[in-house]
Structures are given as C-alpha cells and as structure tokens.
Chains A and B, each alone.
Chain A
C-alpha cells in the first residue's frame, strides 16, 4: 500500500509539473495581461 500511495503522489506531482510547464509556455504575456484587465473595463452606465 505504501508503494501505491507513493506512485499516486508521484502521478499527482507529474501532472502538476506538466501543467505548470504547459501553462507557463502557453499564452503570450501581453495576452494574459489583457485578459487580467477584463474586470477593470466591464461596464458603462446608461443614464
């Protein structure tokens, strides 16, 4: 059972490592910066 838990934990670590690399490599900083600004420019007032 110890081995099972160890391999499970390693799978979680591997998933997160792959995910981190994927997120860091995907998307230009400029685009992400623009997405981050969405809440700042999301309404105008009609009267």
Chain B
C-alpha cells in the first residue's frame, strides 16, 4: 500500500489494476484462440470435460468482460475521477479491496465454470455465491467512486464521470435483478423468473451489460483520455451531455432485439427493434464528437501510438453501433440470428472498440504513472498494426461465414423443404474458421507485445507522486 499524504493521487492501485487487466486479457484471449481451434478440430478437448467448448466458452467471455474489461474500467475510473475532482480517492483501502476482491471473484468464478457450475444465463453464468460477492465488490466500487465525487474540490462533474457513474448504478441494478434466484445448494439455484419472463429479464440484463459496461463505461474512458491524448478539449461539451442522456434513455429498452421470432410478445420485439435503431443517434453523436476532437491534431497520429489506438477504436465504435441497430431490424435479424455474423459483430466491438481503446489508454497511462517514457514506441506501433490486421481479418471472416450460413439455412426447394443439410453447411465453414483462428493468433500476439512493453515500462518504478493543481476560482468548492 502506498504511504502518501492526503493530497497525493492514489495511483499505485491503478497500476495494479492495469497489471491484472493485462493478465486477464492474455488468459481470456488465449482461451478464445483455443475455442477457435476447437471449432475446426473438436478433438482438441482431449476428452476432458473442462476443456470442452461448453465450459471454455463462458470462461473466455467472463475473462474478457469481467477480468480484462472491468479491471481496466476500475483502473481508468480511479485514475480519472481523482483528477477530474482534484482530490485523492475516497477510502483508498476500499479501492484496494475492490482491486483484489474482484480478481479473486473472477478467478474462482472462472474455475467454477471449468468445473461445470453454470446458471445457463449468458454473461451471468456464475452461481449465486459469486453473484453475491460481485454485488458486494461492485457496491464498494461505487462507494469509492461516488465518495470521491462527493469530496471533489471543483463544482462541475466532468462528463466522463457521468458515464462511469451510469456504469456503476445500472450494472448494479441489472446484476441484482437478473441474479434473483432460489438457492437449493451452494452450487445450484433456480431463477425467480420463468419462461418468457426469464428470457426478457435475461436480455434486459445481457444487452445492457453490453450497453452500460462495454459501451457506457468505455465512453467514460474515451471522454477523459481522448482530450488528454489530443491535448485539446472535447469538440462539443454540449453534444457530449446530450449524447449521454440520449444514450442512457435509449439503451435500456433495446434488449428484446435478442429475442426476435421468439416466444415473447411481438410488440416487445418491435419496441426493442425501434429503440435499437434510435440508439444510432447518440452513438454517432459521440463518434462525431470524438473524430472532431482529433480533427485538429492529426499530426500527432504519426508519433503517438496511443492516439492511433484511440482513433481507430472510434472508427470501430462507429462501425459496430451502425451494424448493431441494423441487425436488430427483424427482416435483417432473420438472416443474422444464430449465425457467425453475430460473432463478427460482437468482436468488431470487443476487439475494435473495447480492446483498442483500452490498449491506447494503457500506453498513455503507464509511462505517466511512473514518470518515465514508454519502453518502445516501435513495439507499440507494431502492436497497432497487428491489432488492426487481426480485427479486420476476424470480422470479415465472420461476416462471410455468417451471411453464408443465414442464406443457406433459409434456402428451400420447390416443395418447401430445406435445400441444404445443417451438417454440410457447418462443414463448409471450416475455411472461415481457419481465417478466424489466424486472426485471433495475430491479435493475441499483439497483446503479448503490449504486455512486454508495459512490463518493461513500469518495471521497478514506483508510482509518480501526482497532486491536484490549484483550483480555478470559478469552479472552486470551499471545504
């Protein structure tokens, strides 16, 4: 633990969270590559249950979202909320508790998935003891974050904190409601909801976990770190506030688009579709705001690998937030649903948006946190091109596979029978799956380069002592 005065920002916990995040990225992406290989060579499970696709897949998604993603969000939220509030973290020991307790929950939860304990709810697979542990750590995260905001020395609450705040509040609400269950043993429980209601609640949770964690939380990251990188304020602060309210108000309704042509009422499906299309407006408002912010700093892209990652993540954010609303339209969804198109869409967001902006942010933060230089800009540049090549190859392969699957599955002959056998269609996917495996290996290789680069950057160096600046009188809050 750091022994610092009350006025010094608490950055050692930020460094530790970045380290955990990178470790989870490596492990979870390695799991993803293994899964990609299993889809080509099923014998790679070696007859072991714990290596089967059904057990490794939730480990991959939980590792990426909760290990890599949430650790990165905690790190960047702790880093930015101190600076935008001009005070050190509220209850720093609780921040350290969040840091280590979260890693323990993800680690033990992952092992329970490998052992076969699974609620069967996507992105909420962990059984009830872990659900309770997650809720406790999340509330502590909220206490540290909102406590810091409450102690702030400047009156305005900067826009990034609104997004981080929405992340903390909405994810708590979603997680607690969707996890309501009747435990029957320490390793098994039954959901309080049944049938179509269970499906609606699950996808209200599932879609908004994507919305408020993988989108809202990372938008908080964008609104703080993009101006820092570019060295100029966000292009339109007014637009960012408008986009925030439109985002939180629209996203919460969009979940039922996961249940098209299902046993939920048709009007619920239509509502989900309409609100998904409405989401295009706030999403692109943010993208335009981001692009305009760097529009006068293009020259920095030549020399700053971190900024390259951030700008590219914006492009993928725009792509994924256009594709998502289009896929939610029922006549498009009839082709895309249950195909690899969905996998391509998810990874254009996860690799292109979430991972890229996180990598750019880590490259920015690591040298500043220890008061040094990035170990190798050349390695970071190489990482950038590997990440771009891996992401593009991945999503193009999955688009081709998914559209082929959808059209072949829908083909019928003159008497209305299916034209193609499901097994034959899946066998024809192998070339696309090989491309996906290569893409995953390229992306993973880049992540290993980053891990080495960041390790060499912070190795043996303590956190630099950063302090709040003098407060402008117009914004000052007397305490």
Cβ B227 vs Cβ A36 within 8 A:
yes
User: With an 8 A cutoff between CB atoms, is B420 at the interface?
Assistant: no
Cβ B228 vs Cβ A40 within 8 A:
yes
Cβ A19 vs Cβ B271 within 8 A:
no
Cβ B464 vs Cβ A45 within 8 A:
yes
User: With an 8 A cutoff between CB atoms, is B466 at the interface?
Assistant: yes
Contacts of A1-47 to chain B: CB distance below 8 A: 1-2, 4-5, 8-9, 12, 15-16, 19-20, 23-24, 27, 31-47
Q: Which of B234, B238, B249, B464 contacts A12 (CB 8 A)?
A: B249
Instruction: Collect the chain B residues with CB atoms within 8 Å of residue A39's CB.
Output: 80, 83-84, 158, 160, 224, 227-228, 233
Bound CA–CA A16/B265 (angstroms): 27
Residue in chain A with minimal CB distance to B235: A36
User: With an 8 A cutoff between CB atoms, is B42 at the interface?
Assistant: no
Instruction: Collect the chain B residues with CB atoms within 8 Å of residue A1's CB.
Output: 265-267
Cβ A45 vs Cβ B467 within 8 A:
yes
Cβ A45 vs Cβ B227 within 8 A:
no
Known contacts A35-B156, A44-B469; decide if A19 and B245 are in contact (CB<8 Å).
yes
Instruction: Collect the chain A residues with CB atoms within 8 Å of residue B274's CB.
Output: 5, 9
Known contacts A12-B278, A45-B371; decide if A38 and B242 are in contact (CB<8 Å).
no
Contacts of B265-281 to chain A: CB distance below 8 A: 265-267, 270-271, 274-275, 278
Bound CA–CA A38/B86 (angstroms): 10
Instruction: Collect the chain B residues with CB atoms within 8 Å of residue A24's CB.
Output: 238, 242
Residue in chain B with minimal CB distance to A41: B469
Looking at A5, A23, A36, A44, which has the most chain B CB atoms within 10 Å of its CB?
A36
Cβ A35 vs Cβ B242 within 8 A:
no
Cβ A23 vs Cβ B465 within 8 A:
no
Known contacts A38-B84, A42-B86; decide if A5 and B237 are in contact (CB<8 Å).
no
Instruction: Collect the chain A residues with CB atoms within 8 Å of residue B242's CB.
Output: 19-20, 23-24
Instruction: Collect the chain A residues with CB atoms within 8 Å of residue B8's CB.
Output: 46
User: With an 8 A cutoff between CB atoms, is B107 at the interface?
Assistant: no
Instruction: Collect the chain B residues with CB atoms within 8 Å of residue A44's CB.
Output: 466-469
Per-residue CB contact flags for chain B residues 200-241 toward chain A (1 = under 8 Å, else 0) read: 000000000000000000000000100110011110011001
Instruction: Collect the chain B residues with CB atoms within 8 Å of residue A47's CB.
Output: 465
Instruction: Collect the chain B residues with CB atoms within 8 Å of residue A33's CB.
Output: 233, 237
Instruction: Collect the chain A residues with CB atoms within 8 Å of residue B160's CB.
Output: 39
Bound CA–CA A34/B233 (angstroms): 9
Cβ B249 vs Cβ A15 within 8 A:
yes
Cβ B469 vs Cβ A40 within 8 A:
no
19 A-B residue pairs with CB within 8 Å:
A2-B267, A5-B274, A9-B274, A16-B245, A19-B246, A34-B474, A35-B475, A36-B227, A36-B233, A39-B233, A40-B232, A42-B86, A43-B466, A44-B468, A45-B371, A45-B464, A45-B466, A46-B8, A47-B465
Instruction: Collect the chain A residues with CB atoms within 8 Å of residue B474's CB.
Output: 31, 34
Bound CA–CA A25/B357 (angstroms): 33
User: With an 8 A cutoff between CB atoms, is B90 at the interface?
Assistant: no
Cβ A32 vs Cβ B238 within 8 A:
yes
Instruction: Collect the chain A residues with CB atoms within 8 Å of residue B468's CB.
Output: 42-44
Instruction: Collect the chain A residues with CB atoms within 8 Å of residue B80's CB.
Output: 39
Instruction: Collect the chain A residues with CB atoms within 8 Å of residue B237's CB.
Output: 32-33, 35-36
Bound CA–CA A16/B86 (angstroms): 32
Instruction: Collect the chain A residues with CB atoms within 8 Å of residue B231's CB.
Output: 40
- Return A13 CB to nearest CB of chain B, in Å: 9
Instruction: Collect the chain A residues with CB atoms within 8 Å of residue B265's CB.
Output: 1
- Return B228 CB to nearest CB of chain A, in Å: 5
Bound CA–CA A10/B31 (angstroms): 45
Residue in chain B with minimal CB distance to A37: B233
Bound CA–CA A8/B273 (angstroms): 13
- Return A3 CB to nearest CB of chain B, in Å: 10
